[in-house]
Amino acid sequence: MIVQRQKSVIRFLVPVYILLLTMLTGCVEYDIGVKMNSQTHGEIVQQIQLKDQLNLFSRATLQTWLDSIAKRVRQLSGKTEMLSDQTLKVIIPFNNGAELAVKFNKFFNPYSNNDEADLSLLSANLDVAQNNFILAIRNHLQLDLDLRSLAVVSANDKVLLSPDNFLDLKFSLATPWGAKIIGDDTLVGRSSHQLVWTLEQGKLNHIETIFWVPSPIGIGALIIILLVAGGTYLKEEKVKS
């Protein structure tokens, strides 16, 4: 009985999904980025571009989704900016790797109960392990982005349709000294000090990388030590002369 019901649901969803794919080709570009500028400063930056095809959606539904994003951003001390009528930019600041993980995970997993509908496009889990080497911080970043809920699947978990045609998702990481990729890099593009991953809808995407960030505190301390040592040396040389 349950299997028959699942098959009935699939038979109903597939034509609806095909219709959406036909009507909404390339309608959403969702770019998620992390900029790690230094040991004590960085930003989570998101840019959501809505194409003209989104006018086919209910404006009320679209506005509800955008309002939910703005609400979550405010709760994380971030800000939103409408770059145009169809482009929304989100900036969420953080002060270290631990705060980056907390804010990133809270934004993409905002609801711990069913009191409020979750309008997120994906769920995510980010972890950043940091080691201080005085002059620089070693960061080991791991990110799991679960996009399986965006696909129509059969009862045996086979993907029947994915939203590739109407949803373009990317994740980028920008660091001062670049980054080393761990694992498969077939979906990675490089640009200066930035890496860009093209995410696969309908799948669990795993991203893992190691990168170094200069430590202004450590560098400042070293400069002070050198200045003190230099001053002491010159003073002793003056006394000797």
Which distant-in-sequence residues (6+ apart) come within 8 Å of 212 by Cβ? 136, 137, 138, 139, 175, 177
The predicted pLDDT at position 155 comes to 46
Q: Which residue has the tokens 């978990």?
A: 157
pLDDT digits (tens, 9 = 90+) for 157-179: 554 444 555 578 899 999 999 89
pLDDT digits (tens, 9 = 90+) for 56-92: 454 566 677 778 888 899 999 999 998 887 889 999 9
pLDDT > 90: percent of the chain: 32
User: Could you give the CA distance from residue 183 to residue 207 in angstroms, rounded to a whole number?
Assistant: 8
Q: Which residue has the tokens 């711990």?
A: 112
The Cβ of residue 116 has, within 10 Å, a number of other Cβ atoms equal to 10
Sign, CA dihedral 105-108-109-115, equals positive
Range of the domain at 22: 2-240
Half-sphere exposure of 77 (CA within 13 A, CB side): 8
Confidence bin at 141 (pLDDT 50/70/90): very high
How many independent structural domains does the chain possess? 1
Mean pLDDT of 94-99: 94
pLDDT digits (tens, 9 = 90+) for 13-63: 444 443 344 444 456 788 999 999 888 889 999 998 876 655 445 456 667
